[in-house]
């Protein structure tokens, strides 16, 4: 979905792809033969890509997408369940092995947009819910099949689900394990926007480039503040919020923003 001149690099044996262009980083879950089901190796690859994008000042916002048109991420790779998730002990080891990539994903400080088409199920929906924004096509399908597998959905993912849709819709999604489409997902707040399959790329890129054109420090401050305010009051890092606010007001970009406004021209932010 980025221009052809954007170089694509492979991670996790080619099951994770990374590219960047004009302030936007693109990460592709690339296992279309399994509807982009998330394997242990893919979690490692995701973490490696995020490490690079985190240090790259040329990347202001990241898009996550799935290869092909059938799925964003259909869930965890069930073919690995028998070996790696067949008991509570093996599940704990699986969590440890994938934990590094998960931690890097959840701690990533730049905005992440989920571009969703097709299946976005179980662990795939958990990934989407942990992004900052979710934009999906009309033909997308969302659901959490945990109740059909006799497994417990992760507590942090349940919390994100409740934060997005409220407890009533969360109960319906979890108890019934039924799928909902993009229109219903938008109605209940699970996604930010639904659009046609044909317009999906343009809509996502427009949002991403709009974010990339804004002041990076201000966007980072908003992301940090939202994340902290969603925590229990006793766990909020108010000092971090104060510090990043001071950084914004003392920045060169703040002066540039004021000057550009007075001169009636687009600002040229440098992230400092």
Which tens digits make up the pLDDT trace of 207-243? 999 999 999 999 999 999 999 999 999 999 999 999 9
What residue spans define the domains of the chain? Answer: 9-213, 216-263
Instruction: Say what the pLDDT of residue 18 is.
Output: 97
pLDDT at 1 over 90: no
- Nearest CA-CA partner of 60 in 21, 24, 7: 24
Percent of the chain residues topping a pLDDT of 90: 86
Percent of the chain residues topping a pLDDT of 70: 93
Close Cβ partners of 32 (under 8 Å, ≥ 6 residues apart): 66, 67, 68, 70, 71
Which tens digits make up the pLDDT trace of 40-57? 899 999 999 999 999 999
pLDDT at 114 over 60: yes
Q: How confident is the model at residue 88 (pLDDT cuts 50, 70, 90)?
A: low
Instruction: Say what the pLDDT of residue 81 is.
Output: 52
Rounded CA separation 191/212 (Å): 21
- The pair phi, psi for residue 140, each rounded to 5°, is -75, 155
Q: What is the DSSP string of the chain?
A: ---TTSPPEEEGGGTEEEEEETEEEEEEE--GGGTTPBPHHHHHHHHHHHHHHHH-TTEEEEEEEESSSSEEE-SB-GGGHHHHSSSHHHHHHHHHHHHHHHHHHHH--S-EEEEE-SEEETHHHHHHHTSSEEEEETT-EEE-THHHHT-PPPHHHHHHHHHHHHHHHHHHHHHH---EEHHHHHHHTSSSEEE-TTTHHHHHHHHHHHHHHS-HHHHHHHHHHHHHHTS-GGG--HHHHHHHHHHHHTSHHHHHHHHHHHHTS-------
User: CA 109 → CA 54, 89, 146, 221, distances in Å?
Assistant: 7, 32, 30, 9
Rounded mean pLDDT of 122-127?
Answer: 95
Q: How confident is the model at residue 2 (pLDDT cuts 50, 70, 90)?
A: confident
Give pTM, 2 decimals.
Answer: 0.92
Q: Are 180 and 142 in contact (CB under 8 A)?
A: yes
Rounded mean pLDDT of 193-209?
Answer: 97
Q: From 3.30.70.20, 3.90.226.10, 3.30.420.40, 3.30.930.10, which CATH number describes the 9-213 domain?
A: 3.90.226.10
């Amino acid at each position: 979905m980025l221009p052809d001149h954007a170089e694509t690099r492979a991670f996790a044996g080619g099951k994770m792809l990374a590219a960047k262009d004009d302030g936007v980083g693109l990460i592709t879950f690339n296992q279309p033969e399994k509807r982009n089901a998330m394997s242990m190796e893919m979690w490692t690859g995701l973490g490696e890509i995020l490490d690079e994008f985190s240090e790259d000042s040329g990347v202001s916002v990241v898009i996550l997408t799935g290869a092909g048109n059938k799925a964003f991420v259909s869930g965890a790779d069930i073919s690995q369940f028998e070996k790696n998730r067949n008991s509570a002990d093996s599940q704990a080891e699986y969590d440890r092995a994938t934990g590094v990539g998960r931690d890097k994903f959840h701690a990533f400080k730049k905005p992440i947009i989920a571009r969703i088409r097709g299946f976005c199920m179980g662990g795939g929906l958990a990934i989407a819910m942990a992004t900052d924004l979710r934009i999906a096509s009309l033909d997308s399908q969302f659901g959490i099949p945990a109740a059909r597998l006799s497994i417990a959905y992760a507590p942090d993912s349940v919390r994100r689900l409740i934060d997005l849709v409220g407890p009533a819709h969360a109960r319906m999604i979890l108890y019934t394990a039924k799928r909902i489409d993009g229109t219903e997902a938008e109605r209940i707040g699970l996604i930010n926007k639904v659009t046609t399959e044909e317009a999906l790329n343009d809509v996502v890129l427009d949002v991403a480039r709009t974010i990339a054109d804004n002041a990076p420090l201000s966007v980072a401050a908003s992301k940090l503040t939202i994340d902290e305010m969603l925590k229990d009051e006793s766990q909020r890092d108010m000092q971090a919020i104060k510090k990043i606010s001071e950084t914004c007001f003392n920045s060169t970009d703040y002066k540039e923003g004021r000057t550009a406004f007075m001169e009636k021209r687009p600002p040229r932010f440098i992230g400092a």
